[in-house]
Structure 1
């Protein structure tokens, strides 16, 4: 088994398929799924398949990103306060610590939270481990930084 990459409890990530070059993420191995803050979202159909359009503000002068993705799933999620909400899930590419991998993210209202992205344990599985005493171990990479596809990382 390959050595896992150590992450801090917060890291900079990129979501290139969604047009997000830099985004602060809270790395939370206690959360099962990953949640992305969106300012607004709407559903539509493309060639008979459900899609979701959404707007988000990555922060730090990045402006507003408006994008769309196919809906992967829709299911109930229980937040840390015990509140259950129905959320839309999409698949997208995560670029973090020189690794590129496909993850699923639910779209959520995280207004008031310090981090627009909560990176849960399913996104971390088999590749990353977390050192909760450290943060921002992998720098602030721009979109297009050299990431290695997961299948070649073994």
Structure 2
């Protein structure tokens, strides 16, 4: 290894991701290096102003054994995103903390209705860059239980 180089943790093609700022202990996510930005399944999106700043309110639909979750977060922007079917959509963007395995970091995530997708979240390459290597032959390389300390 080159002097000063650091080793990166390895993730599989699917991982558990905690979003503590949103009070989401974990979500099953597909890791997708073909997607630039991460995306979270969200419905009932509402853009509003609070304390002179733009915010977005949304619902994260229920998972097995859990109720739906209403969230408010400062709006980081609006992006045009080309979806997997080739259509361009405008999406709300927030910045939030991610926890994958033992690694904590902040990254952007777009809010999108992913009800037709197999995973409620997609982790894109900008969140992965300089943090993780991807081994597409495995899933849940960071563990198949919720990340340690994901409620913090």
- Judge same fold: TM > 0.5, yes or no: yes
Equivalenced residues, count: 147
| Unaligned 5+ runs, structure 2 | none
Q: How far apart are the structure 2 equivalents of 1:56 and 1:143?
A: 22
1:98 pairs, out of 87, 94, 102, with 102
Deviations 1:84-133 (A, max 9, x none): 00001000000001000000000001112110000000000101011000
Deviations 1:25-77 (A, max 9, x none): 00001110001011221011111111000101252323211111010011211
Shift of 1:143: 6.5
- Where do 1:4-153 residues align within 5 Å? 4-57=8-61, 59-139=63-143, 140-141=145-146, 144-145=149-150
Over 3 Å off, 4+ runs: none
Taking structure 1 as the reference length, what is the TM-score of the superposition? 0.90
When residues 136 and 115 of structure 1 are mapped into structure 2, their CA distance, relative to the original with a 3 A threshold, is same
| Unaligned 5+ runs, structure 1 | 148-154
How much is the aligned-residue C-alpha RMSD, in angstroms?
Answer: 1.7
Taking structure 2 as the reference length, what is the TM-score of the superposition? 0.91
